[in-house]
Amino acid sequence: MRFFSRGPAGVKKTGMFIGGRDIGLAMDMLDAAKKAMSPPFEISVMADPSGAFTTAAALVACVERELKKHFNQDYKNCKAVVFGGTGPVGLATAVIAAQQGTDTTIVDHFSIDTALELAAEMKKRYGVDLKATTAASDADKARLLSTADVVFCTAKAGVQVLSASVLEDARNLKVAGDVNAVAPLGIEGLELMHDGEPLKFATNAPDAVGIGALAVGNIKYKLQQALLKETLESDKAVYLDFRNAFDGARKLV
């Protein structure tokens, strides 16, 4: 037997937030919560584990904006590399980008097995085909960068992923985005507030531009507030994940 302390109208004022670090588990919890509701007693639920969904959505939307602005191009027929691609933000970024038609590679610093396992899991869950690799050395990174149109740096804070010497190997690079706000930043020469400024050391891709962590963070903050507001003000229950986050981020940029 279930007891409800409020009627359906009162229940609408309640929302549930799913955090944690495992994006797959968060999505499973979101699905379980939705199935457990007893209409008309339904509450809205939002999943954003480690802030990964809103960060990834903001990052991918910001890069998409610069692709269109500077190159009159969308994600289709683009090759993207996600450094730190096996973490929560990296995986969410890779899935969102792949869903837009991008040829996307996730990169783990140490383990090819980890990258392959997670790529297979994302295929099973979301039907996206992610390539997987490892890049422990600058030579590995340069090889990946040499054919990339887009680079997403989502490695842990305080780790420089792309040095000036590695950036020199970029030939097709158009836009690079970094979410690391702790020095040293993820991409050498890219500053926190850069929002479409030229990449300083990409000398063989002179038109390439970059987006810094605080520029991404500005959109992420607005996005998270908008989604939380939606859970509490919607006339009917909503269930929000990274796909809703990306739709919202596109509107904000």
What CATH number corresponds to the domain at position 33? 3.40.50.10280
Confirm whether 2 is domain-assigned.
Answer: no
pTM of the prediction?
0.94
Let me know whether 83 and 190 are in one domain. Answer: yes
Let me know whether 94 and 120 are in one domain. Answer: yes
Confirm whether 89 is domain-assigned.
Answer: yes
pLDDT of residue 10: 66
Let me know whether 191 and 231 are in one domain. Answer: no
Let me know whether 82 and 164 are in one domain. Answer: yes
pLDDT of residue 48: 97
Confirm whether 3 is domain-assigned.
Answer: no
Let me know whether 176 and 94 are in one domain. Answer: yes
Let me know whether 168 and 234 are in one domain. Answer: no
Confirm whether 1 is domain-assigned.
Answer: no
Which tens digit of pLDDT belongs to each residue from 64-103? 999 999 999 999 989 999 999 999 999 999 999 999 999 9
Q: Which positions of the chain have pLDDT values less than 50?
A: 1-3
Let me know whether 212 and 223 are in one domain. Answer: no
Let me know whether 97 and 207 are in one domain. Answer: yes
Let me know whether 94 and 211 are in one domain. Answer: yes
Residue range of the domain that includes 97: 56-216
Confirm whether 135 is domain-assigned.
Answer: yes
Confirm whether 178 is domain-assigned.
Answer: yes
| CATH value at residue 169 | 3.40.50.720
Cis ω for the linkage preceding 8 (within 30 of 0): no
Let me know whether 28 and 143 are in one domain. Answer: no
Which tens digit of pLDDT belongs to each residue from 35-75? 999 888 888 999 999 999 999 999 999 999 999 999 999 99
Let me know whether 67 and 187 are in one domain. Answer: yes
| Number of domains the chain is built from | 2
Confirm whether 22 is domain-assigned.
Answer: yes
pLDDT of residue 1: 37
Let me know whether 44 and 72 are in one domain. Answer: no
Cα–Cα distance measured from residue 80 to residue 24, given in angstroms and rounded to the nearest whole number: 22
- Is 93 in contact with 85 (CB distance < 8 Å)? yes
Confirm whether 169 is domain-assigned.
Answer: yes
